Amino acid sequence: MSGFSGFPPATFEFLSGIAANNDKTWFEAHRPLYSAGYVEPAAAFVAALGPRLREISPSVRFEPKINGSMQRVNRDIRFSKDKRPYKTNLNLWFWHGDNKGWDTPGFWFSLTPETVFMGVGMHGMRGEVLETFRESVVHPRSARALLAAVDAVTAGGYAVGEKSRKLAPKGYATDGPAAEFLLYESLHSEARLPAEAARAADFVDVCAAHFRAMWPIGEWLLNEVSSDKK
């Protein structure tokens, strides 16, 4: 696999094209552009960024292929009112543990013709994972560690989200220092850049720096909440 030196013009040509012509006819006629602009540069980017993320979190996993770190361009429309067959952004995922789902924290990346979106953390916690998160929020030691992680991330100018409840769940003390986070069912930090940044030869360095700055949130989740606890 060749090295990565920025996403090429073909990436933005494909993403703009599939947004404007979201149908099978256009996609099939532009398969070479899909390969040159989506599959090949994304795989090279994953292969370049993955080792850099392991410097931040040694147990992070990545695979530079479709259905590995690279999400399929096809949308699952079985239960959606939106029947457009293709995604209009390039989505990547670097995870922890054997399960690539959201039950462990990870690093995610999305590219559109206008914006680079990247983040660290966990989305949509449920069941035992959500219970473990709440128990960690109210435990004095892990609560202090959470507040320290949040302070470290927000001091760098990054947002931390997100509240999804109006009231704390029953059965949990609400007088602890981190009790506000009982209103959260996801915890993550986010950054956005203009899409032009993705064209630069040093884009891997740029992404690695942002991910490192946001990682305290992911590290807390990995230590205190994840099914893949260290």
Label residue 191 by pLDDT band (50, 70, 90).
Answer: very high
Give tens-digit pLDDT for 3-40.
899 999 999 999 999 999 999 999 999 999 999 999 99
pLDDT at 156: 96
Q: Rounded to whole angstroms, how far apart are CA atoms 205 and 191? A: 15
pLDDT at 227: 66
Q: Please give the single-letter amino acid code of residue 27.
A: F
- Structure tokens of 6? 């920025």
Give me the chain's average pLDDT, please. 94
Query: Dihedral through CA 176, CA 180, CA 184, CA 101, nearest 10?
Result: -50
Label residue 63 by pLDDT band (50, 70, 90).
Answer: very high
pLDDT at 4: 94
The per-residue DSSP string of 77-100 comes to -TT-S----B-SSEEEEEEESS--
Q: Please give the single-letter amino acid code of residue 170.
A: K
pLDDT at 36: 97
Label residue 101 by pLDDT band (50, 70, 90).
Answer: confident
Q: Is the pLDDT confidence value at 1 over 50?
A: no
Q: At a CB cut-off of 8 Å and minimum separation 6, what does 28 contact?
A: none
Q: Give the global pTM.
A: 0.94
Whether the CB-CB separation of 77 and 23 falls below 8 Å is answered with no
What whole-number percentage of the chain has pLDDT above 70?
Answer: 97
pLDDT at 104: 84
Label residue 229 by pLDDT band (50, 70, 90).
Answer: low
